[in-house]
Amino acid sequence: MQISYKTIEYRDKISDQYDKKIHELLAELPQYCSDYELYARKKNSIKTRMEYLTDISNFFRYLVSENPRIKAPQNITADILEKLNSSDWDKYLDWLSNYKFDKKDKSEKYKTNTNASKKRKMMAIRSLYHFLYVMDYIACNPTEKAVLPTVENKKSSDIAILEDKRRKLFLAEIDKKYVDAKEYLETTPKDTQTKKDKLRPYLALRDKAIVYLILGTGLRVSELCAINCSDISYQRRYINVFKKGSGNSREATDKVYLSDEVMGILLDYINIARDQIGANEENYDALFLSSLHRRMTPRAIELMVKEYADKALGTDNKVHPNALRATFETRCTITDES
């Protein structure tokens, strides 16, 4: 019997996780929230709907904690929501500064929110109220009276980048592990390699490919995680990449072209390391693999970058994948202007 292998796409996996979370949230909310979620599908991505419903659920839990007459979020009617006023919004925004739902529960930690987070949570609530108003669940929209927190726009100069000196130190650490790994693989017979070291040198080749790919293209981590081997055009040196907002179909891609240097490093990983790391049946086509033989996750890449940055620059370095992206964009801007 022939076994058919099918890679679980990163985007599909994440979408399934969001969908599961949405169903869990809706199960604890009033029916009109399910109607709202259907309404929101027309203009919001599944990620946005999940985030909005999470904020709405937390708001409903807040109302329950503040009003002993409301026994559960499912008991919150549209009439109750309609009666809230500007004072209620002020109290809610203040509560978001430092809160937990059960003050008697010592195991629950207090949570905080910046002004930007508070504003985002209020936008989710406003979205629900807009639906309730246009669909005639309520006669007025009291969220219009809410005074949203002031949020300063982040300046481009505030975005962390790797200046030349720090970039060279960071890449020197990556390159050292890469050179050591290749030397080890070329000089150490496989039958003498310890179990602990069997994957480590291959992971070092993988790590360099990931870092140089971000620095050389400005890809987002989520975009990088979604790449399959079949997305790569080796002759024309480009990768078909899902860009943010490109939709749910694997047909919606952008071509990201690679320099000779980046292509060479990527081919080293593919030709030497990828098969040695090995993919499980559900990830046989995934480009970047973890030591558990699965498609790498954004969190795994963040931790990998942090590990190299900590060794090269000290623990207070503020280096993460977004800093690598910003470094690429800054260097491109400088090149264009020169």
Asked whether residue 220 falls in the same domain as residue 286, the answer is yes
User: Is 240's pLDDT higher than 80?
Assistant: yes
For residue 331, pLDDT over 90 is answered with no
Residue 247, in any domain of the structure = yes
**Last residue within a domain, chosen from 93, 118, 152:** 152
Residue 211 lies in a domain: yes
My answer on whether 129 and 211 are in the same domain is no
Note the Cα 274 to chain centre separation in Å: 24
Give the model's confidence band at 6: pLDDT under 50 very low, under 70 low, under 90 confident, else very high.
low
Of the candidates 152, 184, 208, which is a domain's last residue? 152
Query: Token match 């040196």: residue?
Result: 237
φ, ψ (nearest 5 deg) of residue 113? -140, 140
Q: Is residue 42 part of a domain?
A: yes
| Residue 4, in any domain of the structure | no
Residues 216 and 124 reside in one and the same domain: no
Range of the domain at 120: 10-152
Sign of CA dihedral 217, 223, 227, 232: negative
144 with 168, same domain: the answer is no
One domain, residues 97 and 71 = yes
As a whole-number percent, the residues of the chain with pLDDT over 70 amount to 88
Q: Identify whether residues 101 and 184 lie together within a single domain.
A: no
Distance, CA of 60 to CA of 101 (rounded, Å)? 11
Query: Is the same domain home to 22 and 107?
Result: yes
* Cα–Cα dist 311/169, whole Å: 10
Do 137 and 167 have their domain in common? no
Residue 163 pLDDT class (50, 70, 90 cuts): confident
Residue 3 domain-assigned (yes or no): no
Q: Is 41 helix (H, G, I), strand (E, B) or coil?
A: coil
Q: Is the pLDDT of residue 137 over 60?
A: yes
DSSP 87-132: HHHHHHHHHTTSB-S-TT-TTSPPB---HHHHHHHHHHHHHHHHHH
In a domain? residue 61: yes
Domain boundary among 115, 132, 152: 152
Q: Is beta strand 232-233 parallel, antiparallel or unpaired with respect to 254-257?
A: unpaired
* Average pLDDT over every residue of 263-273: 94
Cα dihedral sign, 150-153-157-162: positive
Question: Does 200 map to a domain?
Answer: yes
pLDDT per residue over 286-320, tens digit each?
A: 999 999 999 999 999 999 999 999 999 998 888 88
On whether residue 1 sits in a domain, the answer given is no
Summarize the confidence of residues 131-139 as an average pLDDT: 96
Q: What is the CATH number of the domain that holds 274?
A: 1.10.443.10
pLDDT at 194: 64
Does 168 have pLDDT greater than 60? yes
148 plus 164 within the same structural domain: no
Residue-averaged pLDDT of the chain: 87
Spatial distance between the Cα atoms of 248 and 9, rounded to a whole number of angstroms: 11
Domain count within the chain: 2
Q: Are residues 171 and 144 in the same domain?
A: no
Same domain, 234 and 133: no
Same domain membership, residue 321 and residue 190 = yes
Which pLDDT tens digit goes with each residue over 61-96? 999 988 889 999 999 999 999 999 999 999 999 999
